[in-house]
């Protein structure tokens, strides 16, 4: 079955630590996205990538970094510069970028501070 796999499901971060969230897709989609969701809120875009080896900042990129070395993979690093990282992180993909295609989502990673 094609889909998006996010891991781990739960992640805890210590002060001053960088953590990396994994996102893998086998849908052969060109575009991938990272969103942050706070309790009772909608999704805010962190980073997106429309093609391998290229990515753009979203609305709340500060304190986060990404890479897109392979079409299937779009890992997100939450750095120590992100002072309020506790949230639900969602990865998504679409056939192409540009907002004109449905997005397929993984089941998220819940990040908490220790």
Partner 1 sequence: SQQGEEDPQALSIQEGENATMNCSYKTSINNLQWYRQNSGRGLVHLILIRSNEREKHSGRLRVTLDTSKKSSSLLITASRAADTASYFCATAAQGAQKLVFGQGTRLTINP
**How far, CA to CA in Å, does 34 sit from each of 15, 81, 114?**
23, 18, 23
Site for partner 1 in 19-48 (CB under 8 A): 33, 35, 40-45, 48
Q: How far is the CB of 31 from partner 1 (least distance, A)?
A: 9
Cα–Cα distance, 36 to 31 (Å, whole number): 17
95: which residues sit within 8 A by CB, 6+ positions away?
29, 30, 31, 101
Supply the DSSP symbol for 96: S
User: Measured from the CB atom, is 17 or 112 closer to partner 1?
Assistant: 112
Q: Least distance from C-beta 110 to partner 1, angstroms?
A: 8
Q: Does the protein bind partner 1 through residue 100 (CB under 8 A)?
A: yes
Binding mask 44-83 for partner 1 (x = CB under 8 A): xx--x-x-----x-x-------------------------
Asked if residue 114 lies in contact with residue 26, where contact means CB atoms within 8 angstroms, the answer is no
Instruction: List contacts with partner 1 (CB under 8 A).
Output: 4, 6, 33, 35, 40-45, 48, 50, 56, 58, 90, 92, 97-100, 102-108, 110
């Amino acid at each position: 079955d094609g889909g998006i796999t996010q891991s781990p499901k739960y992640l805890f971060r210590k002060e001053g630590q960088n953590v990396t969230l994994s996102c893998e897709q086998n849908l052969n989609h060109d575009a991938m996205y990272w969103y942050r969701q706070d309790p009772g809120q909608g999704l805010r875009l962190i980073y997106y990538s429309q093609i391998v080896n290229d990515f753009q900042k979203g609305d709340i990129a500060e304190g986060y970094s990404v890479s897109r070395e392979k079409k299937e993979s779009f890992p997100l690093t939450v750095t120590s510069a992100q002072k309020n990282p506790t949230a639900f992180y969602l990865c998504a993909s679409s056939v192409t970028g540009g907002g004109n295609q449905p997005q397929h989502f993984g089941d998220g990673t819940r990040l908490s501070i220790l």
